[in-house]
Amino acid sequence: MHIGELADKTGLSLRTIRHYDEVGLLKASARTDGGFRLYTPDDFTRLMLIRRMKPLGFTLDEMTTLLAVIDARQNGEADADTPETRQQLDAFITETAARRQKLQDQLGMADEFLELLRAQ
């Protein structure tokens, strides 16, 4: 699919997708003869993973690290199942749970505030 279709499917802007390409988070799987980026369903899946990390506040460097660990594990690379990579993945799981809890707490406060406003 072309970048526009990918943007429509993910709800991300063309600019964001191009930026992810420039920083190496999501490289286009191919290019047309005219140089237009082409993306596969696997690219879509990867971009959705990136999109899910955004609201949790992960930096581009953190995303890059996590994606490298996930890629290595999915590709069955020999060094992907080391105690170090497992520790990295576990650290991301722990951090994600903490960030999720923080968002949940903020949502609770927003609900309380909204309730107060509606009571006025």
Tens-digit pLDDT profile for the chain (120 aa)?
999 999 999 999 999 999 999 999 999 999 999 999 999 999 999 999 999 999 999 999 999 999 998 888 888 776 667 888 889 999 999 999 999 999 999 999 999 999 999 999
85: its two tokens: 């990579």
The reported pLDDT for the residue numbered 78 is: 64
HEC profile of the chain: CEHHHHHHHHCCCHHHHHHHHHHCCCCCCEECCCCCEECCHHHHHHHHHHHHHHHHCCCHHHHHHHHHHHHHHHCCCHHHHCHHHHHHHHHHHHHHHHHHHHHHHHHHHHHHHHHHHHCC
Q: Could you tell me the domains of the chain?
A: 1-54 (1.10.1660.10), 57-120 (no CATH)
The reported pLDDT for the residue numbered 72 is: 84
Q: Taking the model in full, what pTM does it have? A: 0.82
The reported pLDDT for the residue numbered 117 is: 97
Residue 6 has a CB neighbour count (10 Å cut-off) of 21
The reported pLDDT for the residue numbered 81 is: 76
Say if CB 26 and CB 20 are below 8 A apart.
yes
The reported pLDDT for the residue numbered 75 is: 80
Return phi, psi of residue 22, to 5°. -60, -40
